[in-house]
Structure formats: C-alpha cells, structure tokens
Amino acid sequence: MIEFKNISKHYELKGQNIRALDEINLTIPAGSIFGIIGYSGAGKSTLIRLINLLERPTHGQIIINQTDFTALDANALRHQRANIGMIFQHFNLMQTKTVADNIEMPLKLLGVAKAERQKRLNELLEFIDLKHKKDAYPDELSGGQKQRVGIARALANHPKVLLCDEATSALDPQTTQSVLELLKKINKEQGITIVMVTHEMDVIESVCDYVAVMEQGKVIENGSTLEIFSQPKHPTTKTFIQTVLQQQLPVNILNNLENKNHNSIYNLQFLGTSAQETVVQAAIKQFDISLNILFANMTEINGSVIGQMFIQLLGDAEIIQQTITFFEQNGVKVEQSGVKV
C-alpha cells in the first residue's frame, strides 16, 4: 500500500512560491492498478516522482508498505528504491546499448552475478516477446517495442511497485492497447502495484481499478474507476469522462428539441445488471407515453457495464413522472436536460 499523508511540494520561481502539490492525502491499495489523471500542470507527474523520491516533498509523508520513505537515510532509500520500477513517456533507453544491455543495466548496477543476469534477461525477453530483438539497438525498434524494453528493464529487479509516467502518450492507439494489455498481465500474474499517470481517460477506463483526478496541485476526486465513471461529481472529472462516455447531447440538438417540447429530454444512466436489461422496453409497454431514443452508448469497466441513453418523453405530465419513478425503481439514474430530477 502507498500512502500520501499531507503531501505538499513548493517551488521557488522568479521570486514566487509555486504550489505544485497542495495537501495531498491519498491511499493506493496494494496490488491495484491506480490511475492519476489531470491536465498539463495539474501536478500528476510531480506526485508520481515523489513515490520513489526522485523529488522530495516540501512537507508530508510517503509511506510504502509501512515504511516512511521520507524518513530514510541515503543508504536505506537506495535499498528501498530497488523495489520500485519506472517507465517513461519517451522510453529513456540508452541509444548505444543493445536491448539486452538496456534490460540488464539495473542488475549490473546492483552487482548481480552474470549467470543470474542472463537467466533474468531470458525470462524478460520471453515475457515481452522480443527474444528476436535481443541484439538490436533502440533505433532499430518501433515505439511499442521500445516501451516493452522499458517495461522489461523496470521489471528486472522484481519490483513490488511499477510507476508509469505517461507511458502510452507517445504511442499510436493500437500499440497503446498492446502495452496496456501487457501492464494488465504484469499486474495479474505478478501482483505488482501499478501507478499510472495519464491525461487520457480511455487509458483509465481500459486498465485501472482506481483513479484520482488532479487539478492545480490538488486531488479533486478519487475512488474506484467504476464509481468515478458512474457518479462523477467535479466538473473536471465530468469533462474527462465525456471524452469516453458521452454525457451531453450537442447543444444545438438539445436546444432544438427543447424549443419544440420544453423539459422533454432525459438522460438515463444504467449501471451493472440494469444496463443489460430491457428496462426501456418495459416502460414503453407499461406506460402510455411517447419515448424516443435520441442517443445511446455503453462501456464496460472491471466487468460492470455503464450505459447512457438520451431519450425524449412526451405525454401526460403525471404519466411521465410515473415512468421516471419506474426507471429509478429499476436502478436507472434519471437526469432532465442536465438537471437532476
């Protein structure tokens, strides 16, 4: 488990005190994939670099598996850092070294015997499916292959924690997905806690168990990925989710429909089993109303379905209210033109 307790980080810039992080309190469960999302300048990369103390907090504690990293001396910190691997947006491979040399480097620095290094190297090349590139140089690799080498290097010393700082931002969508699948495999098979910094909500949706949303050096919202996607509270969180799961109709379409029939547009949000049931069909059969489906989509997060549907309800006001109550009784959240009913 990783705990941030009252963490702040301040910089002096041109005589001004810049608050990069402001009183962060956050817990990352052991064995989870935890996403940290925010726009540029939100403080997310600073936060992840505090975990292995590449940067030190101005004040506060960072506790990993009950060890207070901020209280360690240089030798103890060096020993503990061996349990933390890190991968980067631009791979950070040594250009004059082969794939094998890059992966072996952490083990060489720790003085691991050659026979043991070779054994671990072969295991990792097999794991990332790059045995055939063992003697290649970084310039001979694709972006996805470079990141796989970066992942293998980070795993060389059997870390308990893997830090990923915008690890897929420089990759195309197809390659991104393959790297994310590899990270999921690492988490599942090796039980490694993975902390991911990203500005892409679809990355969070694809792999993360939990997510923290950051803005201006603060954590503005955090929880399970399912909870954040299904019940976002902060406007910034809603904006991020909108990139994956459309939560608003285009304004011109909404206004056109509203002008013709005021307060007739509703947003239905389905969660879990209700998303897979024919609740809407049941409502049409049971109530004497006109129900027009304007837009619908859904996504799956950790085995649970989240669905959204925009509908127009026309008919007697009392029957419309009965229909809304029916939806809510069947586990569907109902909002009217962005305003909660």
Q: What is the pLDDT of residues 289-324, one digit of tens each?
A: 888 888 887 777 877 778 888 888 888 889 999 999
Q: Are residues 34 and 146 in the same domain?
A: yes
Is it the case that residue 271 has pLDDT exceeding 80? no
Backbone angles phi, psi at 115, to 5 degrees: -60, -40
Q: Are residues 144 and 290 in the same domain?
A: no
Q: Are residues 140 and 23 in the same domain?
A: yes
Q: Are residues 113 and 204 in the same domain?
A: yes
* Predicted pLDDT of residue 312: 86
**What digits encode the pLDDT tens for the residues 134-155?**
999 999 998 889 989 999 999 9
Measured between alpha carbons, how far is residue 35 from residues 57, 158, 185, 217 in Å? 20, 21, 16, 16
Boundary (domain end) residue, out of 201, 217, 242? 242
Q: Are residues 236 and 281 in the same domain?
A: no
Q: Are residues 76 and 145 in the same domain?
A: yes
The domain tally of the chain equals 2
Q: Are residues 299 and 178 in the same domain?
A: no
Is it the case that residue 339 has pLDDT exceeding 50? no
Would you place residue 186 in the very low, low, confident or very high pLDDT band (cuts 50, 70, 90)? very high
State the average pLDDT over residues 155-181.
Answer: 88
**What digits encode the pLDDT tens for the residues 221-234?**
999 998 898 888 89
**What digits encode the pLDDT tens for the residues 125-135?**
999 889 999 99
Q: Are 111 and 132 in contact (CB under 8 A)?
A: no
Neighbours of 329 (CB within 10 A): 9
How open is the CA angle 21-23-28, to the nearest 5 degrees? 85
CATH number for the domain that contains residue 319: 3.30.70.260
66: its two tokens = 């009950």
State the average pLDDT over residues 84-90.
Answer: 87
300: its two tokens = 């799956």
**What digits encode the pLDDT tens for the residues 23-37?**
999 999 999 999 999
What is the DSSP track for 247-279? -S--HHHHHHHHHHSTT-EEEEEEEGGGGGS-H
CATH number for the domain that contains residue 57: 3.40.50.300
3-state secondary structure at position 178: helix
* Residues whose CB is less than 8 angstroms from the CB of residue 80 and which lie 6 or more positions away in sequence, other chains included: 64, 67, 69, 72
Q: pTM (2 decimals)? A: 0.81
Q: Are residues 278 and 130 in the same domain?
A: no
Q: Are residues 290 and 309 in the same domain?
A: yes
* Predicted pLDDT of residue 270: 81
Boundary (domain end) residue, out of 190, 212, 242? 242
Q: Are residues 139 and 280 in the same domain?
A: no
Q: Are residues 255 and 236 in the same domain?
A: no
Q: Are residues 229 and 306 in the same domain?
A: no
Q: Are 86 and 161 in contact (CB under 8 A)?
A: no
Rounded CA separation 15/20 (Å): 15
Boundary (domain end) residue, out of 188, 216, 242? 242
Structural domain span for residue 51: 2-242
